[in-house]
């Protein structure tokens, strides 16, 4: 009987030690999140009367940005204006909309409500899908990773 009590006591002590060590374990590192505006003033961008705006916030020093804008440009038509907003040329817009990562692509409707976004590198299919989803009445939400 004494051996059983000693065994139970050792198990309890081991469980307490494991619990204390687990609680002392540091939290995982935070993952970066990037601000995406929820609303744009369409008068800040080309074609304020066009039903859809695809604004791609970029930097001249960002090679990923060049790929994203190149993939977005073919979407331009009578209903969609695609505009590059390069930070050195339009720092005012980057500041106004608190853009803190490039490339950031936003899809806004005629009222300037952001209906979809992608941050970071994106394939042509991801970009076209995001625009198609919102134009067809869906909501593309936030996509892609951080750039």
What one-character-per-residue DSSP string does 17-50 give?
Answer: HHHHHHHHSPPPPPPP-----SB--GGGSS-TTS
How many Cα atoms within 13 Å fall on the side-chain side of residue 58? 22
Length of the chain: 147
What is residue 57's predicted lDDT score, i.e. its pLDDT?
A: 98
| Domains of the chain with bracketed CATH | 42-143 (3.40.30.10)
DSSP H helical segments within 1-147, as ranges?
A: 2-24, 63-72, 91-96, 124-135
Task: Return the pLDDT at 106.
Answer: 96
At 144, is the pLDDT very low, low, confident or very high (cuts 50, 70, 90)? very low
Tens-digit pLDDT profile for residues 83-123: 999 999 999 999 999 999 999 999 999 999 999 999 999 99
Burial of 57 (0-12, 13-18, 19+ CB in 10 A): buried
Quote the pLDDT of residue 2. Answer: 86
- Give the pLDDT confidence score for residue 141 in this predicted structure: 54
């Amino acid at each position: 009987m004494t051996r059983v009590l000693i065994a139970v006591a050792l198990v309890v002590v081991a469980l307490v030690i494991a619990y204390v060590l687990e609680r002392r374990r540091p939290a995982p590192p935070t993952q970066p999140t990037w601000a995406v505006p929820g609303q744009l003033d369409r008068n800040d961008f080309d074609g304020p009367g066009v039903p859809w705006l695809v604004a791609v916030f970029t930097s001249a020093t960002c090679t990923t940005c060049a790929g994203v804008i190149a993939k977005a440009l073919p979407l331009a038509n009578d209903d969609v204006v695609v505009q590059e907003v390069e930070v050195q040329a339009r720092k005012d817009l980057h500041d106004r909309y608190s853009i803190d990562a490039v490339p950031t692509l936003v899809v806004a409707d005629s009222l300037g409500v952001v209906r979809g976004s992608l941050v970071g590198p994106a394939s042509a299919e991801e970009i076209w899908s995001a625009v198609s989803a919102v134009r067809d009445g869906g909501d593309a939400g936030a996509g892609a990773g951080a750039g």
